[in-house]
Amino acid sequence: MSKLSLDKILQSQGFGTRKYCRELIEDGEVSIAGETVRGYKQALETEGLRFHIFDEDWEYRAHVYIALNKPANFECSRKPSHHPGVLTLLPEQFSWRDVQPVGRLDHDTTGMLLMSDDGPFIHAQSSPKRHIPKVYQASTAEAVTPELVNTLLAGVQLHDEPAPLAAQTCRALDTHRIEIILEQGKYHQVKRMLAAAGNHCAALQRTAIGKLTLESLQLQEGEWCYLTPEQLALLVPTA
Ligand code: URA
């Protein structure tokens, strides 16, 4: 339980500077339980607090945990150079509260991208020590053969890597599609592993992280959702 004044609450939720949030309140833009609130000084209980602003209902969240079904041609970088950034797919409040992608997908990779403003969560999810499996489905230029699967399982040597990298598991999905599960998240890892194994990645989608599947989220490309505590629990690696 923690109490905060309404201007601090709005600021923490990404509605702008404290001064701007005070102006919003004084201008009658904020209501709680159907009543316009014009005073910002009174401390309010944040837990479970719902408020209405700019014709939208919001719920106070100490942190946000989001899954986005990333479309192609969006960059995960904070300073995108050739394509729009993934943050442009989310409400602008999330940029103000410093929501960031958890790891990165290439601009042409689609699928599940986690995003959050919780630093320790981002760090834990990105840490190679946690061995969180990431599931990818790749379309390949050349046919998927048993040799390709075996090579990826045995490990391939990538330029600049000290040791060969292997898929945790890997299986053919059809003649030109393969599922690869990785525990590491090296730069362009799937594409480089496929190239090192003599094939070429024509399209790539991340379909799951840990036990949380993209399918279960039922998001169209470009859509996002808040993750529930139950869904967050599925991201934790199993022993
Ligand atoms: N591996 C890649 O090559 N690209 C991605 O976006 C993710 C994993």
Given ligand 1 and candidates 136, 193, 206, which is best to mutate, with the most ligand atoms within 8 Å of its CB?
A: 136
Q: Which of 139, 188, 209 to mutate to test the pocket of ligand 1 (most atoms within 8 A of CB)?
A: 188
> What is 3-59's CATH number, 3.50.50.60, 3.10.290.10, 3.20.20.450, 3.40.50.720?
3.10.290.10
Does domain 133-209 fall into CATH 3.40.50.150?
Answer: no
Per-residue burial over 34-51, b if 16 or more Cβ lie within 10 Å, else e, is eeebeebeeebebeebeb
Residue type, 36: T
C-alpha gyration radius of the chain: 21
The protein residue with its alpha carbon nearest to ligand 1, atom 3, reads: 188
Contact (CB, 8 A) for 225 and 89: no
**pLDDT of the chain, 239 residues: tens digit per residue:** 789 999 999 999 999 999 999 999 999 999 999 999 998 888 899 999 999 998 899 999 999 999 999 999 999 988 888 999 999 999 999 999 999 999 999 999 999 999 999 999 999 998 888 889 999 999 999 999 999 999 999 999 999 899 999 999 999 999 999 999 999 889 999 999 999 999 999 999 999 999 999 999 999 999 999 999 999 999 986 55
**Token duo for residue 165:** 């990298």
Could you tell me the two tokens for 226?
């808040």
**CA-CA distance, 140 to 173, in Å (whole number)?**
11
* Distance between Cα 215 and ligand 1 center (Å): 19
Predicted local distance difference test score (pLDDT) of residue 103: 92
Which residue reads 């944040």 in tokens?
46
Q: What is the pLDDT of residue 238?
A: 59
Identical fold between 3-59 and 133-209: no
Q: Would the CB of 109 count as within 6 Å of ligand 1?
A: yes
Q: How far is the CA of 186 from the centre of ligand 1 (A)?
A: 8
CA of 78 to the centre of ligand 1 (A): 17
> Which of 65, 67, 61, 95 lies closest to 80 in space, CA to CA?
95
Q: Is residue 189 in contact with ligand 1, taking CB distance under 6 Å?
A: yes
Q: Report yes or no: 34 and 46 within 8 Å, Cβ to Cβ.
A: no
Mutate to test the pocket of ligand 1, among 114, 137, 159, 204 (most ligand atoms within 8 A of CB): 204
- Give the atom of ligand 1 at the shortest distance from the alpha carbon of 109: 6
Shortest-distance Cα residue to atom 7 of ligand 1: 105
Q: Which fold has domain 65-128+212-233?
A: Alpha-Beta Plaits (3.30.70)
pTM of the model: 0.93
Is the CB of residue 106 below 6 angstroms from any atom belonging to ligand 1? yes
Tell me the two tokens of residue 145: 């053969």
Residue found under tokens 């009174």: 42
pLDDT at site 13: 96
Predicted confidence at residue 42, as pLDDT, reads 82
Extents of the domains making up the chain: 3-59, 65-128+212-233, 133-209
Whole-number Å distance, alpha carbon 105 to ligand 1 midpoint, is 6
Q: How far is the CA of 239 from the centre of ligand 1 (A)?
A: 25
Question: What local confidence, expressed as pLDDT, does residue 239 receive?
Answer: 55
pLDDT at 205: 98
Q: Is residue 137 lining ligand 1, measured as CB closer than 6 Å?
A: no
Is ligand 1 within 6 A of the CB of residue 70? Answer: no
The angle formed by the CA atoms of residues 63, 187 and 116, to the nearest 5 degrees, is 5
